[in-house]
Amino acid sequence: MLDYLFKQYLPQGINLKDPKVSPYWHTSHKNLPPHDLYVSEYDGLRGHTDGYHEKLLKNGVKSELHIFEGQIHPFFMGRGYFNDGENPVMTVLSDLNTLSHRNLAR
């Protein structure tokens, strides 16, 4: 399914496993900064996001995976239509606020 989705958005001739298409395909995931990954529960890209999260953890990179229960792929943009569960915008804002306070405290 992932190949089908990528082919819908990428120009013909692009290697779908090029690291420029997705960081998942990089050969090394070491020495990267911490990651916060946000994905909907029913997202066609969910397996890809879960896999990337696991690669980061296996390489010693701090990574937090945020799964928005009951949501589908366009849950950020379709907030007015998909209003079940947690508001993703407020979650990201809260995470950014926490991060900025941590950085200011240094």
* Residue at 68 is within a domain: yes
pLDDT tens-digit profile of 26-60? 999 999 999 999 998 888 888 889 999 999 999 99
Whether residue 97 is contained in a domain is answered as no
Q: Which residues constitute the domain of residue 47?
A: 34-83
pTM of structure: 0.77
For residue 43, what is the DSSP state? -
Count of structural domains, the chain:
1
In a domain, 100, yes or no: no
**59 in any annotated domain:** yes
What residues have CB less than 8 Å from 35, skipping those under 6 apart?
A: 53, 56, 61, 62, 63, 64
Residue 57 lies inside a defined structural domain of this protein: yes
Answer yes or no: is pLDDT of 22 > 70: yes
Tell me how many degrees the CA angle 13-17-20 measures, rounded to the nearest 5. Answer: 85
Q: Judge whether 78 and 71 are in contact, CB under 8 Å.
A: no
